[in-house]
Structure 1
Amino acid sequence: MDRLDALKVFCTVVDAGGFRRAADRLGISTTSVTTQVAALEAHFRVKLLHRTTRSMSVTDEGRQCYENAIRLLADMSELEDVLRHSTTAPSGLLRVDMPAIFGTRIVSPVLPRFLRDYPDITVRMSANDRLVDMVEEGIDVLVRIGNLLDSRLVAQTLATTQYVCCAAPDYVAQHGSPTSPADLDGFDCLNFLYPKSRRTRPWYFRRDGQSSSLVPRGVFVTDHVESLIGAAMAGGGIIQVLSISVQDRIASGALVPLLTDWTAPGPDVAVLFQQRQLRAAKVKVFVEFLHEIFRTRGHGF
């Protein structure tokens, strides 16, 4: 038994939450995974996992083994990177998850350049806005708006955002513009619905250091940002969304910013990855690529 390989298999089982999922991630059979874990338990003479046909849990000894093995494997990975840095190019499957707005409008248009620079990397990208467990789902790099409170993850800020009110030029020409947030009830407002809580998101404002929020009377509510923006561009009314979602539309003149003296800061855009992947070459170069994209577009959105 190669103990390092067995420890890697064991850690993957814990991360994946099961033998079959671990086998899928490692590209080996479930039998091989079971054999490796059993050999490790025999070597240490302790039970690392409680398992039945339907569930699996980690023993106290297994948890201790996992925490130490993660550090050991990370140190081994760092040693390999140091010794082979000059000859080893980033390679392998890179699993990425990000909101649809980033995937479709920001990353995908420039992704071919990254793939040309790193031909040995294959990118598998999911573009959605749902909550994910990147450890559970085997995701290498995650891009999200706001903070994800997970001590297992390293977070780096890519950009800052603002809450922007805007509407189509034709709508403004026909109905005029609000001069303060209190005026919004006299206009057609298009609201965003939080997908999980099904509550309408308040609109946020800041002026002279004072912050406020309100939920204006809405003629349309949706939990899909692109649908909200599309309705506004068609002249349906006023929206408030994050600046990163409408930056290009405002620049093109498709939307006109409103209440600019009342603009409030929004949540940061962050890239997240697991602590033990900090030194992985494929993760490192992709994170650097994301930073470059956002620097080129401007740090603040």
Structure 2
Amino acid sequence: MDKIECMRRFIKVAESGNFSTAADQLGVPKSAVSMSVSKLETHLRTRLFHRSTRRVTLTESGSRYLPECQRILAELDVLESQFQDDSGQLSGDIIVDMPGRLYASMVAPRLHEWFDTHPKTRIRLKGADYRIDPISERVDCVIRAGTLEDSELIAKPLGDFTVVNCVSPSYIERFGKPETLADLQDHFLVDYGFSLQSTSATFEYLKDGRNIEIAMKSLVSVATTDAYLTTCLNGLGIIQVPLHGVKAHLADGSLVSILEDFTSAPLPLSIVYPSKQHMPKRVREFIDWIGGVLNN
């Protein structure tokens, strides 16, 4: 077995922290993965992992070896992609990060279209609801809603999402339906934030081109988009959410639109990536494909 394959298996073990999990992901026997790591350790004359019955962790040598392996394989991957033919037969992993609700409502239902054309590729989804650094996390591209901070990353605008204010019928039964901004003092907003620090929940709306915030009470604070929606569906507060994510709930009556004259500004959507230089062909084509999906 060549060193490159041994390095791939070493990386899988390092990422999963478990030989069995790495073997399952690679589709090979656990013994084959263990043998590959052992060969590397023999070749390097150093131990790469601390082994226990439940988990393996990197040694100091392993921690230094891992990023070098990742760099070498990434460069090899780019080199190979440059020689893939023009028939559309792309191959390899595409690591993408996007909010879970966006994936569930817009991307997953159409992902089969991508695989119909590129069956040899594999999508690896990181569904983080917080903003990650695609370089340190080794992610090919990140899809984010909202205003982006200035950075050296490349951001490709994908359009704007219409935002709606929603509550559930059970919320209306318990607290009533707010009809004016003044009514909000007697209502609750589902508080959404990345850190769950104690901050004031605010209802936002656009007036004369300016974003206005009204402080509100909240019963629940959440840090993920799934929890945000679920909390609202269970009658625990008002949410302000992109329309695409709640169309089905509005159609079946599990959510009700409120305060239609007081919606917040449209939410910009962007796809962010480190650089097009040395970008594998499969990543370039996926960025173009998903841009078309999210623009429709």
Scaled by the length of structure 1, what TM-score is found? 0.63
Moved more, 110-119 or 88-97: 88-97
Matched, 1:225 2:224: no
What is the Cα deviation at residue 158 of structure 1? 4.4
Percent identical pairs in the alignment equals: 24
Change (3 A) 1:176 1:30: closer
Given that residues 162 and 266 in structure 2 are in contact (C-alpha distance below 8 angstroms), is that contact kept between their aligned partners in structure 1?
Answer: yes
Given that residues 161 and 269 in structure 1 are in contact (C-alpha distance below 8 angstroms), is that contact kept between their aligned partners in structure 2?
Answer: no
What is the Cα deviation at residue 78 of structure 1? 1.8
Give the corresponding residue for 1:279. Answer: 280
Given that residues 144 and 270 in structure 2 are in contact (C-alpha distance below 8 angstroms), is that contact kept between their aligned partners in structure 1?
Answer: yes
Pairwise mapping of residues 109-120 of structure 1 onto structure 2 (< 5 A)?
Answer: 109-120=109-120
Pairwise mapping of residues 144-293 of structure 1 onto structure 2 (< 5 A)?
Answer: 145=145, 158-161=158-161, 163-165=163-165, 177-178=179-180, 181-185=181-185, 189=187, 191-194=189-192, 197=196, 201-207=201-207, 211-217=211-217, 223-225=227-229, 228=232, 239-246=239-246, 255=257, 258-260=260-262, 263-264=264-265, 266=267, 268=269, 270=271, 278-279=279-280, 281=282, 283-293=283-293
Given that residues 190 and 219 in structure 2 are in contact (C-alpha distance below 8 angstroms), is that contact kept between their aligned partners in structure 1?
Answer: no
SS in 1 for 2:107: helix
**CA displacement, residues 186-238 of structure 1 (integer Å, 9 cap, x when unaligned):** 6xx4522449839784323454565553343569999441562686xxxx996
SS in 2 for 1:56: strand
User: What is the identity, as a one-letter code, of the residue corresponding to 2:257?
Assistant: L
- Root-mean-square deviation (CA, aligned residues, Å) is 5.2
Given that residues 250 and 257 in structure 1 are in contact (C-alpha distance below 8 angstroms), is that contact kept between their aligned partners in structure 2?
Answer: no
**CA displacement, residues 246-288 of structure 1 (integer Å, 9 cap, x when unaligned):** 568889997365344x624657465779x9x95263x554433
Task: Return the alpha-carbon distance in structure 1 between the equivalents of residues 245 and 65 of structure 2.
Answer: 44
Give the corresponding residue for 1:51. Answer: 50
Scaled by the length of structure 2, what TM-score is found? 0.63
User: What is the identity, as a one-letter code, of the residue corresponding to 1:197?
Assistant: L
**CA displacement, residues 1-33 of structure 1 (integer Å, 9 cap, x when unaligned):** 512222222222222233333222222223222
How many residue pairs get aligned? The number is 276
Task: Return the alpha-carbon distance in structure 1 between the equivalents of residues 148 and 10 of structure 2.
Answer: 26
What is the Cα deviation at residue 293 of structure 1? 1.0
